[in-house]
Amino acid sequence: MAGGGAPAKADEPQPHPPKEQLPNISYCITSPPPWPEAILLGFQHYLVMLGTTVIIPTSLVPQMGGGNEEKAKVIQTLLFVAGLNTLLQSLFGSRLPAVIGGSYTFVPTTISIILAGRFSDTSDPIERFKRIMRAIQGSLIVASTLQIVLGFSGLWRNVTRFLSPLSVVPLVSLVGFGLYEFGFPGVAKCVEIGLPQLILIVFISQYMPHVIKSGKHVFDRFAVIFSVVVVWIYAHLLTVGGAYNGKAPKTQLSCRTDRAGLIDAAPWIRVPYPFQWGAPSFDAGEAFAMMMASFVALVESTGAFISVSRYASATPMPPSILSRGVGWQGVAILISGLFGTVNGSSVSVENAGLLALTRVGSRRVVQISAGFMIFFSILGKFGAVFASIPAPIIAALYCLFFAYVGSGGLSFLQFCNLNSFRTKFILGFSVFMGLSVPQYFNEYTAINGYGPVHTGARWFNDIVNVPLSSEAFVAGCVAYFLDNTLHRKDSSIRKDRGKHWWDKFRSFKGDSRSEEFYSLPFNLNKYFPSV
């Protein structure tokens, strides 16, 4: 029969049924593992989030004029603030096991502030560092108001009400896949360390559980600790054995285990505090540019929240819970500005991937990891030991975690009609544009040293260049627009886009599973009915 097919026979294989909650998760949000296991899992989350926490200050602080001592203090502050924000998000925000840490989205705007001409008249590098830091703080404080207002007012709830599984696929997929530049390119900076780490973690997590069937989930659940310890020792042996003596400075910086400079520079005990670098300074243009970076982080974090809820085996997130999580993420950016972390805050994508690797989505585990963040941020010398893990080892972990998050986005296709040409167009066009547009902007910037939009006002350049350089932002916006404007009133379209699966979770009240996952503690829901 042309254009169709015969009815399915009774003995033909049936497709896998869609699952609102991801099956085969060992511990969901509200079912914590035993305390010894939970502590080890929390330590793993701490190790994983160290990558972004160390890489961003290591890149930015020297450009600001700071040395190893300032770099160590900024890392301590970023770690301390991440612990606070993770606790706040898991207790009062989305209630998901989401780690709130540093974000690469804010880096281009921060670099624009660093390159501002008004700091060039300062000859003392430390004083220049402090002036730039105070300017970044002021921009972050202003930018935080965007997410705070959108989240706590319920405006973001009204936006996310129109999300469907179809429009979520490009957004969540490119939240993970869009970070490919931090994966194998980072491994290749020291391939003799990065590649063994990548091979080892895949072998331990995916093959060892089937080779040694102990039934206790030791290898798949603690693959990060096993692999990092082995490769870290191997990297140290290469260092002390003189394998990198005489090599190029860039190679030594990536490969050696004694070049971070953090252990000697970090104080034994130090408690970060607000305004530790002085009173923030404010510039209108830089504040607007940072607000755009904050909006891009908001969109990306929406996808990351959805990914975390999936890997925690929770029900689909109600729009009000997403809005509440965004509001508290705005508070996280405000705290980052007050303390001076040189960077804004968003949901850690790598830690979302770790949930998938361990199959443990317990809220308690992430709260324990927040405790490790705060503890090691105060005990600077001890925290600096773990912060000195070579970057290629972290990049190898990213390859796995970002892939998990990206594939988690693809899993929402189970709710959509893949035989619909409308579905194919929206899915294919949004993903293609999400990859193609940022590729043009990033390639142009790499060649010319500035973005395609290049005027005399750096803040205006960032307002245009930063969002169009984000794969997840471009793909998510294109998919959202097309899904809500393209033949949406057709009655059959609602099922094609998978909206009928999510509509019953529009409010978490009345659904016992959603109430269990997302209700605030201490009976606080009655004080926040709108969010």
- Amino acid at position 503, single letter: D
State how far the Cα of 497 lies from the Cα of 503, in Å rounded to an integer.
12
- In degrees and rounded to multiples of 5, residue 280 shows phi and psi of -60, 150
Give mean pLDDT, residues 242-253: 86
Q: What is the pLDDT of residue 512?
A: 64
pLDDT in tens, 417-451: 999 999 999 999 999 999 999 999 999 999 998 99
Q: What is the pLDDT of residue 506?
A: 66
Query: 211: which residues sit within 8 A by CB, 6+ positions away?
Result: none
Q: What is the pLDDT of residue 134?
A: 97
What is the dihedral sign for C-alpha 192, 195, 197, 203? negative
Neighbours of 232 (CB within 10 A): 18
pTM: 0.93
Q: What is the pLDDT of residue 1?
A: 43
pLDDT band at 161 (very low <50, low <70, confident <90, very high): very high
In terms of average pLDDT, the best of 112-126, 240-254, 354-368, 501-515 is: 354-368
CB 401 within 8 A of CB 353: yes
Query: 478: which residues sit within 8 A by CB, 6+ positions away?
Result: 170, 429, 430, 433, 434
Q: What is the pLDDT of residue 388?
A: 85
User: Is residue 35 scored above 90 in pLDDT?
Assistant: yes
Q: What is the pLDDT of residue 249?
A: 86
pLDDT in tens, 85-110: 999 999 999 999 999 999 999 999 99
Q: Indicate the average pLDDT of the chain.
A: 91
**DSSP annotation string for 441-452:** HHHHHHHHSS-S
**DSSP annotation string for 35-65:** HHHHHHHHHHHHHHHHHHHHHHHHHHHHHHT
Give mean pLDDT, residues 272-285: 95
User: Is residue 324 scored above 70 in pLDDT?
Assistant: yes
**H/E element, 346:** strand 345-347
